[in-house]
Each structure stands twice: as structure tokens, then as C-alpha cells.
Amino acid sequence: MRTAHLNRKTEETTIGIELNLDGDGTNEIETTIKFFDHMLATFARHGSFNLVVKAEGDLSHHIIEDAGIVLGETFKKALGKAELGERETTVRFGSAIIPMDESIAQCAVDIGGIGGVGRSYTVFDVNFDKERVEDISTEDIYHFINSFAMHAQFTIHVSANGENEHHKIEAILKALGVALKMATRLEGRR
Ligand SMILES: [Mn+2]
């Protein structure tokens, strides 16, 4: 089983994450931000990752950003470092196009497997019409995905269109989960 757990405490946040890449989507998410809980649970379920996230802090922006950082570090720990070639048994690439009612999201990932050099890059082609959805700021969605990509050593491309911001974001997290489920799968060869 490829698992990892990390705890990180700063003056702003306290984050604890447990991850099993070869899971079934079971998750236990408590971040004090309801919509962020919904995002992470959606990601875990559709990525078939077993995920425990306990996060608290002073501001929702800090919690979301720091949870992205620690989630990225946890993926890196479970997968091994890209620049050392430790991911070369994975499929490496993954992509998904996921609809949710009137919304549609696309996600493509490169986790830097064979001969990987640890490319951390985010392309986020999403426009939000509203500044807030439920109890988060829509600008924090990019912050979360970028923090995650930088610290996991992933290249992540995301685009989405739709009318309903909740649906758009949910489709993005489903697409990210499905793309990463594909990319992190073991290929069975070196
Ligand atoms: Mn929903």
C-alpha cells in the first residue's frame, strides 16, 4: 500500500493529512469550511483515495492554501520524488472530462513518472462570475490547486465552463480526482 501521513503546524494553521493512494475513496474531512470539506470529499471519492484531512486555522484563505500544500507534500511522500525517478512505475499521465449538469470541467495531469524531473506547473483556465460560493471565495480554488501542484510536483491543467459556480467547482474536483486516479495507478513495469 502506498500511504503517507503528514502534520504541519504554523502560526496560522494546523493541518493533518493521511493518504492511501490505493484506497476506495473512503474519507474523513474536517476543515471547518463546509464547501472545502465537500471539495476534498469529492476529490477523494472520485480519485478512490483514502483521505483523512483535519485542518483548522485563523482564516479560510490560509486553511485552503495550507491544506493544498500539505496535501501536495503527502502525495509526494506516498509516490516518491519525481526528480529521482521514484514515480516511474506509475502510468504518469491522466485526464478527465467531467460534466455536472450544465457545467463541464477538464483536467489533465503529469505526475512526472518515467525520467521525470519534477515539473510543478498549474494552468487554470476558469472564470468565476461570483466572488463567493457557499462559504469560500472562488479565488481560493486556484490557490488550492496551485499549492497542491507545486508541492506534489505535478503539472495540472484545469478548464471549466458552466452557469452554476458550485457545479463548476465540483466538476473540477471530480475531474482532478479521476485524472490523478489514472496517473497514479501502477503500470506494473519499470
Ligand atoms: Mn455539491
Amino acid identity, position 47:
G
What single DSSP character describes residue 33? -
Burial 163-184 (b: 16+ CB within 10 A, else e): ebbbbbbbbbbbbbbbbbbbbb
Q: What is the pLDDT of residue 83?
A: 82
Mean pLDDT of 74-87: 90
Number of Cα atoms under 13 Å in the Cβ half of residue 109: 31
Q: Please, which residues have CB within 8 angstroms of residue 44's CB and are 6 or more apart in sequence? A: 23, 25, 26, 27, 29, 50, 51, 177
Q: Using alpha carbons, select from 68, 59, 49, 55 the residue that is nearest to residue 14.
A: 55
Q: How far is the CA of 26 from the centre of ligand 1 (A)?
A: 17
Q: How far is the CA of 171 from the centre of ligand 1 (A)?
A: 9
Q: How far is the CA of 137 from the centre of ligand 1 (A)?
A: 16
Q: What fold characterizes domain 3-184?
A: Ribosomal Protein S5; domain 2 (3.30.230)
Q: How far is the CA of 170 from the centre of ligand 1 (A)?
A: 6
Q: How far is the CA of 35 from the centre of ligand 1 (A)?
A: 8
Mean pLDDT of 73-78: 97
CA angle 86, 5, 135 (to 5 degrees): 115
> Does 190 score more than 60 pLDDT?
no
Q: Please, which residues have CB within 8 angstroms of residue 184's CB and are 6 or more apart in sequence? A: 21, 75, 79, 90, 91, 94, 111
> Does 160 score more than 80 pLDDT?
yes
Q: Please, which residues have CB within 8 angstroms of residue 35's CB and are 6 or more apart in sequence? A: 133, 134, 135, 136, 166, 169
Coil, strand or helix at 168: helix
Residues with beta carbon < 5 A to ion ligand 1? 170
> Does 104 score more than 60 pLDDT?
yes
Q: What is the pLDDT of residue 113?
A: 65
Domain ranges of the chain: 3-184
Q: How far is the CA of 87 from the centre of ligand 1 (A)?
A: 33
Q: What is the pLDDT of residue 98?
A: 98
- pLDDT tens for each residue of 28-68: 999 999 999 999 999 999 999 999 999 999 999 999 999 99
Find the helix or strand (DSSP H, E) in which 155 lies.
Answer: strand 155-161
**Using 50, 70 and 90 to split pLDDT, how confident is the model at 118?**
confident
Q: What is the pLDDT of residue 114?
A: 62
Amino acid identity, position 21:
L
Q: How far is the CA of 78 from the centre of ligand 1 (A)?
A: 28
